[in-house]
Amino acid sequence: MDIKEIRKVIGMMKENDLVEFEIEDQGFRMAIKRDSGREMPYMVSAPTAQPMMMAPQTTMSTMPAGTAVSAPAAEDNEEADWADVKSPIVGTFYRSPTPEADPYVTVGQTVEEDTVLCIIEAMKVMNEIKAEMSGVVRKVLVDNATPVEFDQPLFKIEKD
């Protein structure tokens, strides 16, 4: 099961208000569970590894009605056409295939939908994360060799 298929499952769960989904196929097992109204915890396991469970995302506290939050106008205008590339899994973020190698992408580089941006190691499996859009890499939001959570923004890409 690839990342696109996992994203489709998560989307279908949201659309159909499902709380739990589980599948096993050729030694790959995936179970997704969520609480109503909260972010989805995420679990994936391989045949030889223990399942890895992700803690729910933290949420912002609620604000009184009528409270407005705004970012600086210059940043809004500059980043209006920028999209986040988010982590589809929990793991360790790596910008290059090996410590000695150049990063997969750099700020200012043009990317296509199938361009590999980074890898995320989860349970000793290296998962390539692709841009899934064409555009220009504008920001790298995560330091190399650091842990990332499910749905955490990794890159900002200015769409074509």
130: its two tokens: 């692709």
Lowest mean pLDDT among 4-8, 79-83, 123-127: 4-8
Which position has the higher pLDDT, 148 or 38?
A: 148
Would you say residue 149 has pLDDT above 50?
yes
Q: Alpha-carbon distance 77 to 107, whole Å?
A: 19
Please identify, in words, the CATH class of the domain defined by 79-159. mainly beta
Averaged pLDDT, 43-61: 44
**Residue 134: what residue type?**
S
- The pLDDT assigned to 55 comes to 44
- The pLDDT assigned to 77 comes to 61
- The pLDDT tens digits of the residues spanning 117-127 come to 999 999 989 99
- The pLDDT tens digits of the residues spanning 84-116 come to 999 999 999 999 999 999 999 999 999 999 999
Task: Give the chain's mean pLDDT.
Answer: 77
What percentage of residues in the chain have a pLDDT greater than 90? 48
Q: Alpha-carbon distance 103 to 25, whole Å?
A: 33
Domain-wise residue ranges, the chain:
3-53, 79-159
3-class secondary structure, 134: coil
20: its two tokens: 């739990």
> What is the pLDDT confidence band of residue 16, given thresholds at 50, 70 and 90?
confident
Would you say residue 22 has pLDDT above 50?
yes
